[in-house]
Amino acid sequence: MNRLFAHKGTSECTKRFCAFVLVVSALLLDGIGFAQTDALWLMQDSIKPWASMAMLRSDNAMGSNSIDLEFINESVFGGTLEKDQIQRQSDRMKSVNRIGGYSASELCFYNFKDTLFNRPHWGLQAALQTTYMASAYFPKDLFTLIYQGNQQSDSLALGPIRAQMQAYQKFSVGLFNKKNWNSISIGLVVGQRMADLSLYSASLLTNAWGDTIDVAYNGTYHRSDTAVSGIANGAGLGLATDINYHLRMPNNKGIISIALHDIGFVVWNKNTQTFRLNGSNMWTGIDTRPYISQSLDSIALPNFEDSLKYSRGKGREIKPLPARIQFRYLHHLNESSYYEFGLQIMPSTAALPRVHFGLGQRIFDNFLFTQSVSYGGFGRWGFGAGCYYMPKKSWYFAVQTFHLGGFTLNSARSRNIQFSIAKIFKS
Amino acid sequence: MRSSFYIAVMCIAVMAVSCRRDEPTVWTPSIKAAIAHGSLGLDDVLPSTYFYVDNNDVWHFYIEQNLTDFNIDSLVEIPDTTIQRSLVLPFTGGPFNIAAGTELYNQSQNNVLQTQGALLKEVVMRGGTLHYSFVSYVNGELTCTCTLPGVTLNGSPAVLQATTAATTNDFSPATASGSIDLSNYHIDLTGTSGTGYNLLESLLTIQVADNAASPAQVYGNDSVTIDLSFSDATVQYGRGYFGQHQYTIDETIAFGQDIDMPDGELLLDEATLALSIRNYVGVDFQLKLNELSGIQNETTIPLEYTPLYDWQFFTRAQDNAGAITPTAQSFFLHTGNSNLVNFVGLLPDQLHIQGDMQINTLGNIGLNNDFIYTDQTVEAKAKLDIPLQLATESIAFTDTITLTNAAIDLIAKGEIKLVLDNYFPCDVYLTAQLKNEETIIDLVDGNLLTASYSGANTPSRSIVPIAITPELLALARSGAYIILRIAIATENYPNYQTITAQQRVDYLLIGEGDVQLEYE
C-alpha cells in the first residue's frame, strides 16, 4: 500500500480544509466533465483488501476562447448583459470563436470479492452515467448581431456555424484490474436529446436606410424526437465502450496511461427531424395596407420559423458520442511527489486538444495536493489544483480543477471541476 | 466518519441549487429595421366600393343612395282587430239531451275586416297571428269548427277547431282557444258573394263531440261565441282600391353612413347626379318636392334644379303575374343645369327632403285593381358620380388603426423615422395621434408633405422623426389606436387638379434604437 495512505490519523484542521475546498468548489460549479483514474489509486500497486466500493464522480467543464465566464454565467443563469461588458467580449473575438461545456456524472460500483476466470486480479464493475454536452464555433459577426444588433455593420457574415448538443445516459458493465486499475467496459447508451446545426454560410445585409434587411442561409439542422422528453426517454439507442490502460515503467519510475471514454454512437430514432436550410428572406416591415383598408383589424408579427425556407425530413440519424481520448505520463520524483504530462483530445471542432503539466505532493500521509498548468479544451490557459483525501480508509474524497481562475476571476474564460466521493466496504 | 458523509450530501445539494436559473437574461442590442410600410391612396382612405378608375386613369367617386321609400306600404296596413261572432242554438225550452256526434249548428257568414281606408279584395300576408277562441254556454262537450274558405295556404283553407268542455254547475262558460301563424297565407276578402271587399267569409259548425262521455244537455237560448283576432299583421301583397290619400314627406337622411366622409370644402370641376323615382305600385300618384338640400354641420345648401320642384305625375305600374313594370321619372343634374358642384363640394353628410305626395287623385280608375308588393314600392335613388378633378384648400380624411398588445410588447428607446413619399399633386398635411380613452400622444403634428410635381414619377420625400419613449410604448401596449388625419390642399388653388390611380402617399416606418431583449 502506498505510503500516502499509511498514516491512520487525520487532523481536524485537514478535515476542515477539505470541507472548505469541496464546498467552495461546489458553490462555484457550473459544469461537469470526465476524469481519468485518480493518481492516488494508480500509486497503489497492490490488490486492495476491500469487499467493494461505490463511487460517485463528476466531471464538469465550460469554456471559451473569447467569452468570459461572467458573460456565460449571466447568459445561462440570468442577469443583465451591459453594453460595455458585451463590447469587451466583442473586442476579444477572432473571426472564428469557440464555446462549449459538458457535465458528466457517474455512479460506479466495483466488486473486489469475485475472482473471475481464475484471475484474482480482475473484478466486475457496473456504472450508471448521465452526460450533457454542448459546443459551438461561430463567427464574430453572429455575436455582434445577437448582442449588439445590426447598427454596427451593414454587412454581417453569420457563417460558418457548427453547434452541437447531446444528452444521454449510459449503463455499462465491465472488468477492472484490482491492482493497477486497468479496465474495460461496454455500455448501452440511451439518447435523451440531440441537436446539431451546421450553417455553411449565412449573411445579413442591412441597407443604409434600414428599410430592407436581406438574410441568406445554407445549412442543415438535425434535432431528436421532440415528442419525448426527460431522462432515458428512448429518443435514441446506442453502444459505447470505455477503456483505461496503465503501463508501469521499470523500477516504478512512472506510469503511462491511456484512457478512451465514450467511444461509441447513438442511433437517434425515426422521428429525428432534418431541416435543410437554403434560401433568403427580405424583411421590409409589416405591410399595413390590409389594416388601413380594414380588411384586417389586428396586427400580427410574422413567425420567424414560418419565414425560413427549408425542406424537412424525418428519419434515423447516427451520431458519434462526444468521445474523449486521454494520455498521461506520471513520473515519481521521490516517495512523496511526482510530476505528470497529459493530453486530452475531444473530437469536437469547438475544442482544442488540452495539454497539461502537473505536480503532486503529499502534505499529510492521507492527503495529496496537486498543481497544474494547462492549455486548450474549450478555453485557453489555466492554472489548476487538486486535493485527494482518504480518511480512515473507508471514505475517499477528491476534487480537482484545471482552471482556478474560473472560480476567482470574472474575466476568466474557462472553468472546470472534477470530484469523486467513494465509500469503501471492507470484508 | 458521519461528518464526512454529511459533507458529501451537502456538496451534492449545493451543486444542485447552484445550477438554477434565477432571472431572465437581458440585453439591449442596437437595432435598425423597417417596422412597417404601406401606401395610402384615396381608395385606402375611403371604401373602394365608392371609387372606380375610368379609361383615362382618373379616379371617380361614385355613390348610389336610396333616398326614401315614401312609406307607401301603409296603404294596405291591417291594424290589430278582433271580429266577434255570437250564435244562439235553435232550440226553445229544454233541456234536450243531444247524443254525441250530433250537429247543432252550421252556417256561413261574412265578417268585416278593418283597414286604413283601403277596399281590399285580396292580400298575401308576410306575417302576423290569427288568434281564435270559442266560448260555450252549453252543458256538454262541443266540437267547434270555424272554416275560413278565403284564408288559404297552398290552396288549403284555414280550419280553426277546438273542443269545449261542458259548463259547470255555477254556469261559468267553457273556453277553448288557439292560433295560427299567418305567414304566406292568401286571404280572399270578397266575402261569400265573391264581389265584396274587406269581407272575410267564415263557416261555423257546432256539434256534440264524437267522443263525448255523455249526451249534451241543451236549453233554448244556449249560445256559443267565437272571437277572431288579428295581431301584428303585415302584408306582402294587396289588391283592391287603396283610396285617395295625401302624404307630407319631411325626412332627414344620413348620407353615406358607412363612409368616413372627409371634412372640408371642395371646388369640383364637374359632377353628375342621376336622380330617378320609380313607381312599382299599382296606383297613380303625383309628387312635388319642395326642398332637397345638403347639410354639413351648420351649413345647408339647397340643390337648385327647377324641374325637380314641379309636380311630377306617375301613372300606375303594371302587374303581369307578379312581374312588375314600373313607371319612372328621371332627372339628370350636372354642372350646366344645376348648382350640383357647389352642392357636392360642401361634402354633405345629411340630406333633407321635404315635399307632398297625392295618391289616386283621379279616384278608383283602376276599378278596384290597385296593387302593391310591399317589398318594392316607390323608390327614389340618387347616383352621384364625381371625377376627381378638384381644387381644395383643405380637405381631410381620417382613419383609425387599432394596435394589438402582441405587436408592441417590447422595451426600447431610440427613434422611429417616418419616411413619406408624396405622389399627389397636392400638399399633404399629416397628423397622427396615439390615444386611448385617457391619454393622447402626438406622433406627427400636422407635418407638411409638399406636393409632387404633377405628372412626374418622382415623389417629394419627407422624413418625420418620432421619439420612442417609455410613455409611448406604455400607451401602445394599453390597447390604444392610431388616428391618422390627412389634409390635402391642391396646388395653385383654385385651379383644378386631377387625382389619378397612381397618386398616393407611400410611408415607411424605420425603427432605430436600443431594444431590450430577454429570454427566460
Share of chain B above pLDDT 90, in %: 35
pLDDT of residue B387: 86
pLDDT of residue B88: 85
User: What is the rounded CA–CA span in Å between residue B123 and residue B116?
Assistant: 14
pLDDT of residue A374: 92
pLDDT band at A27, cuts 50/70/90?
very low
Q: Does B321 touch chain A (CB under 8 A)?
A: no
Answer whether B43's CB lies under 8 Å from B51's CB: yes
pLDDT band at A347, cuts 50/70/90?
confident
Contacts of A74 in chain B (CB under 8 A): 25
Answer whether B77's CB lies under 8 Å from B71's CB: no
Q: Per the CB < 8 Å rule, is A83 touching B28? A: yes
Q: Per the CB < 8 Å rule, is A299 touching B404? A: yes
Q: Give tens-digit pLDDT for B363-414.
A: 999 899 999 999 888 888 889 898 887 787 777 777 677 766 555 567 788 8
Q: Mention every residue, 6+ apart, whose C-beta is less than 8 A from residue B369.
A: B239, B240, B282
DSSP of B394-438: EEEEEEEEEPPGGGG--EEEEEEEEEEEE-SSEEEEEEEEEE-SS
What mean pLDDT do residues A10-39 have? Answer: 40
Q: Per the CB < 8 Å rule, is A213 touching B14? A: no
Q: Per the CB < 8 Å rule, is A151 touching B27? A: no
Task: Choose from B22, B25, B430 for mutation: most chain A CBs within 10 A.
Answer: B25
pLDDT of residue B21: 65
Q: Per the CB < 8 Å rule, is A299 touching B403? A: yes
> Could you tell me which chain A residue has the CA closest to the CA of B27?
A81
Inter-chain contacts counted by CB atoms under 8 A, chains A and B: 148
User: CA of A298 to nearest chain B CA: how many angstroms apart?
Assistant: 6
- Angle at which helices B2-18 and A12-27 cross, to 10°: 20
CA B181 to chain centre: 26
Is the pLDDT reported for residue A175 higher than 90?
yes
Is the pLDDT reported for residue B448 higher than 80?
no
CA angle A114, A109, A387 (to 5 degrees): 120
Task: Choose from B3, B9, B11, B401 for mutation: most chain A CBs within 10 A.
Answer: B11
Query: Where are chain A's structural domains?
Result: 12-426
Q: Per the CB < 8 Å rule, is B407 touching A301? A: yes
Q: Does B463 touch chain A (CB under 8 A)?
A: no
pLDDT of residue B30: 92
Q: Per the CB < 8 Å rule, is B512 touching A210? A: yes
Task: Choose from B3, B15, B434 for mutation: most chain A CBs within 10 A.
Answer: B15
Q: Mention every residue, 6+ apart, whose C-beta is less than 8 A from residue A209.
A: B419, B510
φ, ψ of residue B137 in degrees (nearest 5): -110, 20
Q: Per the CB < 8 Å rule, is B1 touching A288? A: no
pLDDT of residue A10: 35
Instruction: Give the residue from B72, B415, B69 showing the smallest Cα distance to B251.
Output: B69
Q: Could you tell me which residue, B452 or A128, shows the higher pLDDT?
A: A128
Answer whether A91's CB lies under 8 Å from A136's CB: no
Task: Choose from A286, A296, A307, A417 for mutation: most chain B CBs within 10 A.
Answer: A286
User: CA of B393 to nearest chain A CA: how many angstroms apart?
Assistant: 25
Q: Could you tell me which residue, A235 or A364, shows the higher pLDDT?
A: A235
User: What is the rounded CA–CA span in Å between residue B396 and residue B91?
Assistant: 86
Q: Tell me the three state secondary structure of residue B131.
A: strand
Residue type at B145 in one-letter notation = T
Task: Choose from A291, A396, A424 for mutation: most chain B CBs within 10 A.
Answer: A291
Share of chain A above pLDDT 90, in %: 49
Q: Per the CB < 8 Å rule, is B509 touching A394? A: no
Touching A: B residues 34-53, CB under 8 Å:
34-40, 43-45, 48
Contacts of A300 in chain B (CB under 8 A): 404, 406-407
pLDDT band at B151, cuts 50/70/90?
very high
Q: Could you tell me which residue, B63 or A100, shows the higher pLDDT?
A: A100
- From the list B14, B36, B43, the residue facing A286 with the nearest CB is B36
Buried residues in A256-286 as b, exposed as e (16+ CB within 10 A): ebebbbbebbbbbbeebbbbebbeeeebebb
Q: Per the CB < 8 Å rule, is A285 touching B403? A: no
Mean pLDDT of chain B: 84
Is the pLDDT reported for residue B498 higher than 90?
no
DSSP of A90-141: HHH--SEEEEEEEEEEEEEEEE-S--BTTBTTEEEEEEEEEEEEEEEEEEHH
User: CA of B451 to nearest chain A CA: how many angstroms apart?
Assistant: 22
Contacts of B15 in chain A (CB under 8 A): 26, 29
Q: Per the CB < 8 Å rule, is A27 touching B18? A: yes
What is the interface pTM, i.e. ipTM, of the complex? Answer: 0.75
Place of cell 440531440: A194
Least confident range from A56-60, A314-318, B222-226, B408-412: namely B408-412
pLDDT band at A188, cuts 50/70/90?
very high
> Could you tell me which chain B residue has the CA closest to the CA of A283?
B34
What mean pLDDT do residues A200-213 have? Answer: 91
Is the pLDDT reported for residue A355 higher than 90?
yes
User: What is the rounded CA–CA span in Å between residue A271 and residue A227?
Assistant: 8
pLDDT band at A196, cuts 50/70/90?
very high
What mean pLDDT do residues A198-210 have? Answer: 91
Q: Mention every residue, 6+ apart, whose C-beta is less than 8 A from residue A67.
A: A89, A92, A97, A99, A413
Assign residue A368 a region (left: φ > 0; alpha: ψ between -120 and 50; beta: otherwise). beta
Is the pLDDT reported for residue B15 higher than 60?
no
The residue count for chain A: 427
What mean pLDDT do residues B413-429 have? Answer: 84
> Could you tell me which chain A residue has the CA closest to the CA of B484?
A292
Contacts of A394 in chain B (CB under 8 A): 1
Considering just the CA atoms, what is the radius of gyration of chain B in Å?
Answer: 39
Answer whether A125's CB lies under 8 Å from A109's CB: yes
Q: Tell me the three state secondary structure of residue B205.
A: strand
Q: Give tens-digit pLDDT for A253-277.
A: 889 999 999 999 999 999 999 999 9
pLDDT band at A31, cuts 50/70/90?
very low
pLDDT band at B1, cuts 50/70/90?
very low
Q: Per the CB < 8 Å rule, is A81 touching B26? A: yes
Answer whether B127's CB lies under 8 Å from B77's CB: no
Q: Is the pTM of this model over 0.80?
A: no
Q: Does B405 touch chain A (CB under 8 A)?
A: no
φ, ψ of residue B388 in degrees (nearest 5): -80, 75
pLDDT of residue B68: 67
φ, ψ of residue B411 in degrees (nearest 5): -115, 125
Q: Per the CB < 8 Å rule, is A22 touching B37? A: no
Q: Give tens-digit pLDDT for B156-209.
A: 999 999 999 888 766 788 999 999 999 999 999 999 999 999 999 999 999 999
Task: Choose from A76, A299, A392, A396 for mutation: most chain B CBs within 10 A.
Answer: A299
What mean pLDDT do residues A43-52 have? Answer: 73
Q: Give tens-digit pLDDT for A272-306.
A: 999 999 989 888 888 877 776 655 555 555 655 66
pLDDT of residue A45: 63
- From the list A75, A288, A293, the residue facing B25 with the nearest CB is A75
pLDDT of residue A292: 66
Residues forming a β-bridge with B294 = B301, B351
pLDDT band at B469, cuts 50/70/90?
confident
Q: Per the CB < 8 Å rule, is B21 touching A77? A: yes
Is the pLDDT reported for residue A239 higher than 50?
yes
pLDDT of residue A28: 34
pLDDT of residue A7: 32
Q: Could you tell me which residue, B68 or B389, shows the higher pLDDT?
A: B389
Q: Give tens-digit pLDDT for B329-344.
A: 999 999 899 999 888 8
User: CA of B330 to nearest chain A CA: how many angstroms apart?
Assistant: 35
Alpha carbon separation from A12 to B11, B63, B167 (Å, rounded) = 19, 100, 115
The C-alpha cell at A1 is: 500500500
What mean pLDDT do residues A12-24 have? Answer: 37
The C-alpha cell at A330 is: 506520471
Q: Per the CB < 8 Å rule, is B1 touching A146? A: no
Least confident range from A41-55, A72-86, B196-210: namely A41-55
Least confident range from A145-149, B41-45, B173-177: namely B41-45
What mean pLDDT do residues A181-192 have? Answer: 94
Answer whether B491's CB lies under 8 Å from B392's CB: no
Q: Could you tell me which residue, B239 or B435, shows the higher pLDDT?
A: B239
Contacts of B24 in chain A (CB under 8 A): 78
Place of cell 447552484: B18
- From the list B33, B407, B514, the residue facing A210 with the nearest CB is B33
- From the list B11, B21, B35, the residue facing A22 with the nearest CB is B11
Answer whether A381's CB lies under 8 Å from A374's CB: yes
pLDDT of residue B511: 87
Contacts of B511 in chain A (CB under 8 A): 210
The residue count for chain B: 520
> Could you tell me which chain B residue has the CA closest to the CA of A20?
B7
Q: Does B8 touch chain A (CB under 8 A)?
A: yes
Q: Does B9 touch chain A (CB under 8 A)?
A: no
User: What is the rounded CA–CA span in Å between residue A104 and residue A106?
Assistant: 7
User: What is the rounded CA–CA span in Å between residue B52 and residue B64?
Assistant: 13
Q: Per the CB < 8 Å rule, is B18 touching A28? A: yes
φ, ψ of residue B445 in degrees (nearest 5): -110, 80
- From the list A29, A394, A397, the residue facing B18 with the nearest CB is A29
Q: Could you tell me which residue, A274 or A35, shows the higher pLDDT?
A: A274
- From the list B27, B28, B407, the residue facing A299 with the nearest CB is B407
SS3 sequence, B476-491? HHCCCEEEEEEEEEEC
What mean pLDDT do residues A376-381 have? Answer: 87
Write down the CATH number for the domain with range A12-426. Answer: 2.40.160
Q: Tell me the three state secondary structure of residue A188.
A: strand
The C-alpha cell at A42 is: 494508480
pLDDT of residue A307: 65
Separation of first and last alpha carbons in chain A: 17
- From the list A22, A148, A206, the residue facing B7 with the nearest CB is A22
pLDDT of residue B16: 47
Contacts of A211 in chain B (CB under 8 A): 34, 37, 419, 508, 510
